[in-house]
Amino acid sequence: MVDFIFFISVSGYVIFPKVQLKNPVILSDFYVFQTCVLFIQFIEAIVVLVRQTSHLRVTRALRPIFLVDCRYCGAVRRNLRQIFQSLPPFIDILLLLLFFMVIFAILGFCLFSANSADPYFSTLENSIVSLFVLLTTANFPDVMMPAYSKNRWSCIFFIVYLSIELYFIMNLLLAVVFDTFNGVEKMKFKSLLLHKRSAIEHAFQLLVSRQRPDGVCLKQFDGLMRFYRPRMTPQDRFLTFKALNHSGATMLSLQDFYKFYEVIGLKWKVSFTHCHMIILPGCMLNSPEPEHMVYMCVAGSSSLLTVGVSWTRVVPWSYIIFLTIYGIEVLLKITGLGPLTYFSSGWNLFDFSVTVFAFLGLIALAFDMEPFYFIVVLRPLQLLRLFKIKQRYRNVLDTMFELFPRMASLGLTLIIFYYSFAIVGMEFFADVVYPNCCNTSTVAQSYRQINVTIGNRTMLEEGYYYLNNFNNILSSFVTLFELTVVNNWYITMEGVTSQTTHWSRLYFMTFYIVTMVVMTIIVAFILDAFVFRMNYSRKNREPLDDPEGSKCLESRSSDDMFNKMIFLGRRSRTKCDLSMKMYEEEIQEWYEEYSRTNLQPDETFHRELDSPEASATNSVN
Amino acid sequence: MVDFIFFISVSGYVIFPKVQLKNPVILSDFYVFQTCVLFIQFIEAIVVLVRQTSHLRVTRALRPIFLVDCRYCGAVRRNLRQIFQSLPPFIDILLLLLFFMVIFAILGFCLFSANSADPYFSTLENSIVSLFVLLTTANFPDVMMPAYSKNRWSCIFFIVYLSIELYFIMNLLLAVVFDTFNGVEKMKFKSLLLHKRSAIEHAFQLLVSRQRPDGVCLKQFDGLMRFYRPRMTPQDRFLTFKALNHSGATMLSLQDFYKFYEVIGLKWKVSFTHCHMIILPGCMLNSPEPEHMVYMCVAGSSSLLTVGVSWTRVVPWSYIIFLTIYGIEVLLKITGLGPLTYFSSGWNLFDFSVTVFAFLGLIALAFDMEPFYFIVVLRPLQLLRLFKIKQRYRNVLDTMFELFPRMASLGLTLIIFYYSFAIVGMEFFADVVYPNCCNTSTVAQSYRQINVTIGNRTMLEEGYYYLNNFNNILSSFVTLFELTVVNNWYITMEGVTSQTTHWSRLYFMTFYIVTMVVMTIIVAFILDAFVFRMNYSRKNREPLDDPEGSKCLESRSSDDMFNKMIFLGRRSRTKCDLSMKMYEEEIQEWYEEYSRTNLQPDETFHRELDSPEASATNSVN
């Protein structure tokens, strides 16, 4: 019944808005797929209603595709698309991997099946499964041991197999995914860039008046902005116009107008001097030079103290003094910069939370609150301040802050796969493993739960693996996480297999391959982001702008209206800015190519740009 | 006594040649280190002679550094240098990793030590060791299970720990090593390139006569070549001159002379047409078009056959016919191209060995020879032919052929580390583990060897882990390989620790970190080579030259002396050529910078270039 309600609501959500919009996008692959799934679910719901009994409802695993189709899951949708795009080369290498696996399985079966003490190669099926598990190294020395104890030279078989498969072909897989992923990323960036350019040209054509066809005046620009960003203040609109207007003429040329998307995200603030408008001590703390010195002494000595006092309940006065200094610094900065500006920087947030945690620890200690470990753990966190000193750690943490949105969307993608597999697992494997089950399998040991009496003491000897089950969605998620980490995953697989059929292995192997793809892409992505950033900071010798990782743009409005004040616009630097810098030369080529052919950019991006709120920069990230 | 002989021979080998040469290189770090080691070993040898008893001789682990100092180990020496150069950033990130590990260890100890059924967090030392092992995932679900069975939410601790440490910081480590390694590689390439340029300029200055200061004539060039490559024929010398002489003038300008190192490695062959001088069928088989078609049909059908007949002793006629066709093809090619040319190509070697193996299998079957598995395994190898068809597989195998020398040298570097650790392991841990030892440790199960009587059958239940010992050098190598693969390495560690002291863990942890560095570099290297190649083939749209992966250069000598014959020069393409293409733009910058400053390139490369035989191209690879 719940299913039927779900079906009705989803069909209302998916089908009807599309019919209303009469958008050509309705015919894209994704929607065809969605409609098919909906149709299958509809038939299934009717069958369930007619028979009035439940059955294996694996189609529930497909539900997340409706969730993905909301506005907030745009990044997840793009991730899924990228994963499917990097599949063809991935599959090529996977076939190579499996081919060698099968050859080695046959060889292993022929070599080791004579040994009755060797359960890993007793049949050809066992042989293939053993070598598949060996690919993940999860059964490594054990799979070799029976053969190795018979003949010492049999280790060569395993060393050769691992060298070829694990150390060569698996790396090749990573390289291919890494490369394809980068290629797709670059193509996406190019497509978006050209689309923006054509949008700007189109807007320019609409904005220029017939009398003056080579420029946009302030009034027209103001009208555009009132439509494009209704909440912008008139002052900000004027400043944006000024920032675009490099030539100093009264009108914006097309060249000026090309910078539209770079300038539009800036937040404007009055700046009296080059330093921020804060009182002296705050200014001192804000400039990088003394900060380094302060941190070198303070964090160094403080860290020594915290390490020293971590294990006692006695708090030396010096610790409290240092903490007070940190507290004052944080307060000064907040009053000086204002809470909003202060908390918009990742580094300030980091400072603030470390200090607040330290104070919390102190208060907890003062009131003699339990648990004590809470305090003990909070103190070493003070050491995190040290990471601000070294350039490499700053880079690492900066990159982490920048990576975070993307990592979150990749994590969400992984969770969607988890959900689908969890549903299938729950349908097939719920309640199949329990303590002392699986006695027919080779892993019975891990599921055993017996009382052992040693001397006069009775102990419960537990194998615990019965806890890795698919009984409910939370247990399933934990079990799937354990399968993702790979180590000892074959114990769960063999346990479930011994209680069901041999075909269950297909589920676990498929899951391994799917998570391998997703994890490889996550690894490739982290790798790419860091290598990119390190290259970038090497290419532009100066350190990466200011510590807050933001992009500044001055708009010196020397009009009377603003009394010769200098306005500073800032926004956080996105990967788009880095890409602009990295592909500088190629971008010129793309533009030239574009202006020659003047073709419409890729169709797929129409949809993203339909809603003006979804800012273009976000959709690159 | 053996030690003393070793010492005498090595000191004779290391010290005296250096004193003779009076080379400034003698003062380099490496030689100072070598001399120190020699001095320590000398004192030790005297101590051993005086006391007439043996003791722990850990210094034997340092012996490979004398082996490395031979001419054939140049690549290994460079690898070691590169590893030490990428250590500083690696250590930075390692500290970050260890810092989080310690924080989580304290937290884990506080949270889980109350649970008496949990041996993993009972003391702070156990807690740190457990989390170190968890970093390698070797104990994953087990370490979580006792806590998880008490409270289901404790899995969050482990999930957060693994997400931060394994999936984030470990990847960061890979990225940093990858980046540093690439940087060092590029610097080395730049340094070598500039050194070559200065060498060429210097040679040019010496060769030009005073009357004609702007060119080198054939006679002077011939003199140089007779000195530089004494075994070159006069014809080859003339052809090299012609190949350099692009302008067609009688003299070589400096611009022509800059190409010296590119042209010097070419092997010259007469070429009557563009196709090779082979008979018609061979020529047909050699041109790429029909080859593809032939392979598509033949390999496809043959592979189906081989799969079908793999399991029977009956050989269908079609299989023999196909094999005969392959045999004829191989014979035609060998007669057509000549054995030397034929075997110089990796692909031909591949074809040849696959065909020969198939024939061997057939002969073995005809004489009804055992073992049968030999034949069964040889047949599926026929499928390897299919890999020649797809461009991606061709690229993979081409890259593999190119990578091979470098991989071999990296493998040798790894073996040197293995040797050092094996010696230390043998000194400390020889004969410490045996069946049924380690009963006090948590891994006693894995070392147990007992007779179990089930019904009327007596079985030997073996834990086998006592086989992973340090009793001799071969066992040590196998044990260290198992530690490299990481899975279940803690069983070996705990077994040895329970028989010796807690400090033994230091040995295993150090080994893990060292192999992690070396393996990371190997992974980074494979990754780099493939990504590089894929980028390269994308940048130059046409497929990578001819399948043999060689570099052609025509020298059209229209002189009467050679009767208007066309000579083709070829050599295998090295990574140097690829680098030249990739860094094209930067190379121009480097040259400009170099000609401005005209500084001497790096001192370290003097040594490599002292011996003229060690060709410059080799030392880049």
DSSP assignment of B97-137: HHHHHHHHHHHHHHHHTT-TT-GGGSSHHHHHHHHHHHHTT
How close A607 gets to chain B, by Cα (Å)? 30
Q: Using an 8 Å Cβ cutoff, are A569 and A263 in contact?
A: yes
Q: A486: nearest CA in chain B?
A: B137
Residue B551's H or E segment, with its range, is strand B550-556
d(CA A96, CA A108): 18
Q: What is the DSSP letter of A574?
A: -
- Contact: A465, B148; criterion CB under 8 Å: no
Q: For the segment A411-426, what is each residue's pLDDT rounded down to a tens digit?
A: 888 888 899 999 999 9
- Quick check: A487 and B137 CB within 8 A? yes
Sheet with B267-271, strands from edge to edge, namely: B267-271, B566-572, B550-556
- As a whole number, the mean pLDDT across chain A is 73
Cβ neighbours around A363 below 10 Å, total: 11
In angstroms, the CA B479 to CA B470 distance is 7
- pLDDT given for residue A76 in this prediction: 83
Give the residue, A256 or A129, on which the prediction is more confident.
A129
Nearest to B468 by CA among B516, B515, B411, B422: B422
- CA separation (Å) from A108 to A124, A135, B34? 9, 14, 45
pLDDT value, residue A279: 37
**Torsion of Cα atoms, B523 then B525 then B529 then B530, to 10°:** 10
Q: Classify burial at B340, counting beta carbons within 10 Å of its beta carbon; exposed 0-12, middle 13-18, buried 19 or more.
A: exposed
Quick: pLDDT tens for A357-376. 777 777 776 776 655 556 66
B96 contacts on A by Cβ (under 8 Å): 387, 393, 396
Nearest to A97 by CA among A517, A505, A525, A521: A517
Average pLDDT over residues A590-599: 71
CB contact under 8 A, A393 and B137: no
Interface contact B474-A152, CB threshold 8 A: yes
Check residues A576 and B473 and name the one with the higher pLDDT.
Answer: B473
User: Using the beta-carbon criterion (under 8 Å), do B396 and A96 form an inter-chain contact?
Assistant: yes
Residues of chain B contacting A178 with CB distance shorter than 8 Å = 527, 531
- Looking at residue A282, what is its pLDDT? 37
Q: Which residues of chain B have pLDDT under 50?
A: 19-27, 273-290, 542-563, 599-621
Query: To the nearest whole angstrom, how far is the Cα of A258 from the nearest Cα of chain B?
Result: 28
CB contact (8 A) between residue A377 and residue B478: no
Measured CA distances, B575 to A132, A461, B186, B401 (Å): 34, 59, 12, 12
Q: Which residues of A are less than 8 Å from B111 in CB distance? A: 373
Q: How many CB atoms lie within 10 A of CB B488?
A: 26
Q: Are B198 and B600 in contact (CB under 8 A)?
A: yes
The ipTM assigned to this model is 0.75
CA-CA distance, B530 to B400, in Å (whole number)?
9
Chain B partners of A89 at a C-beta cutoff of 8 Å?
392
**How does residue A278 score in pLDDT terms, banded at 50, 70 and 90?**
very low
Cβ atoms A422, A470 nearer than 8 A: yes
Q: Decide which of B16 and A202 is more confident.
A: A202
Give CB contacts under 8 A, 24+ apart, made by A79-88: A79/A409, A79/A410, A79/A413, A79/A521, A80/A413, A80/A416, A82/A181, A82/A184, A82/A185, A82/A521, A83/A413, A83/A517, A83/A518, A83/A521, A85/A180, A85/A184, A86/A176, A86/A177, A86/A180, A86/A181, A86/A184, A86/A517, A86/A521, A87/A517
Please answer yes or no on whether B137 and A392 come within 8 Å at the CB atom. Answer: no
Distance from CA of B359 to the nearest CA of A (A): 18
**pLDDT value of position B550:** 41
Q: What are the chain A neighbours of B142 within 8 Å (beta carbons)? A: 464, 488
Angle B248-B252-B256 from CA coordinates, rounded to 5°? 85
Residues on chain A touching B148 (C-beta within 8 angstroms): 464, 467, 478
Residue B359 in tokens: 């024939």
Q: How far apart are CA A343 and CA A347, in angstroms?
A: 9
Query: Considering only A33-47, A482-496, B18-32, B540-554, which range has the smallest mean pLDDT?
Result: B540-554
Residue A606 has pLDDT above 50, yes or no: no
**Residue A284 vs residue B260, higher pLDDT:** B260
For residue A279, how far is the Cα from the chain centroid?
39
For A213-321, strand residue ranges (E) read 267-271
- Band the pLDDT of A476: cuts 50, 70, 90: very high
Give bridge partners of residue B459 from the DSSP assignment: B452
Picking from B91, B186, B178, the residue whose alpha carbon sits closest to that of residue A528 is B178
Interface A:B, Cβ pairs < 8 A = 196
Could you say which of B380, B396, B527 has the minimum Cβ distance to residue A103? B380
**Separation CA A128–CA A107 (nearest Å):** 10
**What is the distance between the alpha carbons of residues A86 and A183, in angstroms, rounded to a whole number?**
9
> pLDDT at position A507, please?
92
Q: Which residue of A has its CA nearest to B371?
A: A110
Packing angle, helices A584-597 and A575-582, rounded to 10: 80
**What's the order of all strands across the beta sheet hosting A566-572?**
A267-271, A566-572, A550-556
> With an 8 Å Cβ cutoff, are A392 and B89 in contact?
yes
Q: How far is CA A154 from CA A149, B124, B478, in A?
A: 9, 40, 11
Q: Across chain A, which distance is largest between two alpha carbons, in Å?
A: 104
How many degrees, rounded to 5, is the angle at CA B554 between CA B548 and CA B558?
150
Does A140 contact B487 at a Cβ distance shorter than 8 Å? yes
Residues of B in contact with A145 (CB under 8 A): 462, 464-465, 467
Neighbours of A484 (CB within 10 A): 20
Chain A residues with CB-CB distance to B535 below 8 A: 179
